Amino acid sequence: MDRLTLYIGNKNYSSWSFRPWIAMTGCGIEFDEVLIPFDFPAGNPRFSEISPTARVPALHHGNIRVWESLAIIEYVAELFPDAGLWPRHVKARAEARAVSCEMVAGFRALRNACPMNIRRPKQRIELGDGVMSDVARIETIWRDMRDHFGGPFLFGAFSAADAMFAPVVNRFETYDLVASADTLSYMTAMKELPAWQAWQQAALAETWIVPEDEA
């Protein structure tokens, strides 16, 4: 089989890159990674060479190109049906896809106000009601799924749904947004993943600064 190449942005800031990266790494799927740093304010011209949207992440596999983080995960899940990217049970799989779609389509207030920033020291910022209602909905999803499927991850074992929420775990921590014990316990499970720690270590070693993402 051709090798998979995942193009990503800066590990410190690129929340959308983090999602397929941690999904694939956490499920033991091998791939090559190519990091193309952001180059604000002009935008990095290399982005348009690797994706029709000029955005990361993008996955290349032979002559197939896939863009959009969730589409990348779906493609890889088809290639490796036994890797456990999605839960095995049909109900769990349906709900995992539903909450993943919520993540892609929503939570804009949180995403805009609180950019993922792994290097940023923990510090609160002033936030509007929209952010706090996004936080409340995400905490409800996490609580309901873990109560129903037993934890420690959303659907029991780590899956693509956890990967889709991985940058939120950083946001909740960095901007000190949550305090409930069950939310913090889910965040701990995520942060203990070897894949999480590998990404974090690489992010901490980066020196690029993107002013737009420094809230």
Name the segment binding ligand GSH (CB under 6 A); options: 12-20, 23-31, 78-86, 186-194: 12-20
User: Whose Cβ is closer to ligand GSH: residue 149's or residue 203's?
Assistant: 203
| Binding test (CB under 6 A) with ligand GSH, winner from 22, 24, 56, 92 | 56
Q: What DSSP letter does each residue of 114-142 carry, written as one string?
A: S---TTSPP------HHHHHHHHHHHHHH
φ and ψ of 13, to 5 deg: -115, -25
Residue 55 in the binding site for ligand GSH (CB under 6 A): yes
In angstroms, how far is the first alpha carbon of the chain from the final one? 43
18 dihedral zone (left: phi>0; alpha: psi -120 to 50; beta): alpha
Name the segment binding ligand GSH (CB under 6 A); options: 55-63, 75-83, 152-160, 197-205: 55-63
CA distance 99 to 85: 14
Residue 43 in the binding site for ligand GSH (CB under 6 A): yes
Q: With beta carbons less than 8 A apart as the criterion, state whether 19 and 166 touch.
A: yes
Tell me the site size for ligand GSH, rule CB under 6 A. 14
Residue 21 in the binding site for ligand GSH (CB under 6 A): no
Report the interface residues with ligand GSH, using CB under 6 A: 9, 14-17, 38, 43, 47, 55-57, 68-69, 104
